């Protein structure tokens, strides 16, 4: 008798109700969640249609809660979870919660007792932008537009392909750094006798914010830059590929 009762109760419960509230499909990059709502005829004054509307609202709220829980368990990187990111940053929390509220309903099931169950999906990419690490960006208004190397007094030998080296001899800049357009027009570097002359005659190459560096010494056609200056251009800023380099020489 007890076994029969258990089987009857199990049959009365929708199969999906026994499943997990949600999971992540990494291949399709979505979080899939289920929400359920029961009909309350008492609150609906005995009207089944009104009760079903209430059940649908309850199912959506349940799906929202379940999706938020699923999202909290998503791994961002290493041992960091999305849940930890939500707790550390209110802006991230707001973005993720907003994305989850915009979930897409993919299936709806109605039961004879007035209950409703829905399956929903939330794209992982809808929250990824809020939590993925970003590279540091130098504001365009302050980033250098060119490099001016002061080699006055060092007796540097002008050349078509001068190189800039750090103090250990490592090449920081040279012909291999140039983009195709710069190789055909402008070359590796231009020479000027003074900064004023460069500003007057080479303004398009300098731009508005040239970075001025004093060379440590000359090695024939090459120039050695101090460590601090070398570090500032080691990341190969865009202006190097464009050949925006001017050498001030006597």
Residue 219's pLDDT is 94
Spatial distance between the Cα atoms of 228 and 213, rounded to a whole number of angstroms: 10
Beta strand spans in 38-158 (E) = 75-77, 80-81, 104-110, 116-123, 146-150
- Chain segment 149-195, per-residue pLDDT in tens: 999 999 999 999 999 999 999 999 999 998 888 888 888 999 999 99
| DSSP 8-state code for residue 175 | G
Q: Measure the CA–CA gap between 61 and 116, rounded to whole angstroms.
A: 12
The whole-number pLDDT of residue 3 equals 37
pLDDT in tens, 65-95: 999 999 888 888 778 888 888 887 787 788 8
Using pLDDT thresholds of 50, 70 and 90, give the confidence band for residue 16.
very low
Comparing 81-85, 118-122, 146-150, 218-222, the range with the smallest average pLDDT is 81-85
Position 137 scores a pLDDT of 63
Cα 75 to Cα 47, 149, 160, 166: the distances in Å are 45, 47, 52, 41
> What confidence category does residue 102 fall into, taking pLDDT thresholds of 50, 70 and 90?
confident
Per-residue pLDDT averaged across 98-104, rounded? 87
Answer yes or no: is pLDDT of 141 > 80.
Answer: no
Please, what is the average pLDDT of the chain?
Answer: 83
Split at pLDDT 50, 70, 90, the class of 110 is very high
Q: Between 192 and 46, whose confidence is greater?
A: 192
Q: What pLDDT shows up at residue 66?
A: 93
The full set of domain ranges for the chain reads: 14-131, 146-248
Question: Residues 136, 237: contact at Cβ < 8 Å?
Answer: no
CA distance 236 to 250: 27
Q: How many angstroms separate the CA atoms of 216 and 154, rounded?
A: 8
Confidence of residue 139 (pLDDT cuts 50, 70, 90): low
């Amino acid at each position: 008798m007890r076994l029969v009762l258990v089987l009857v109760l199990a049959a009365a419960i929708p199969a999906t109700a026994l499943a997990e509230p949600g999971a992540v499909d990494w291949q399709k990059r979505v979080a899939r969640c289920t929400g359920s709502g029961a009909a309350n005829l008492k609150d609906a004054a005995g009207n089944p249609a009104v009760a079903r509307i209430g059940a649908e609202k309850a199912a959506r709220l349940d799906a929202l809660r379940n999706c938020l829980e699923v999202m909290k368990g998503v791994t961002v990187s290493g041992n960091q979870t999305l849940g930890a990111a939500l707790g550390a940053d209110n802006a991230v929390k707001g973005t993720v919660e907003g994305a989850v509220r915009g979930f897409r309903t993919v299936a709806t099931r109605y039961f004879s007792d007035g209950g409703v169950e829905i399956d929903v999906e939330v794209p992982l990419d809808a929250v990824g932008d809020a939590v993925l690490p970003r590279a540091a960006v130098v504001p365009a208004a302050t980033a250098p537009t060119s490099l001016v190397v002061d080699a006055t007094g060092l007796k540097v030998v002008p050349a078509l392909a001068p190189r800039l080296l750090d103090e250990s001899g490592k090449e920081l800049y040279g012909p291999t750094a140039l983009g195709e357009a710069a190789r055909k027009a402008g070359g590796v570097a231009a020479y000027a006798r003074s900064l004023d002359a460069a500003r007057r005659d080479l303004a398009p190459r300098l731009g508005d914010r040239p970075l001025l560096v004093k060379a440590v010494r000359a090695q024939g056609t090459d120039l050695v830059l101090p460590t601090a200056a070398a570090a500032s251009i080691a990341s190969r800023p865009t202006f190097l590929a464009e050949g925006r380099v001017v050498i001030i020489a006597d």
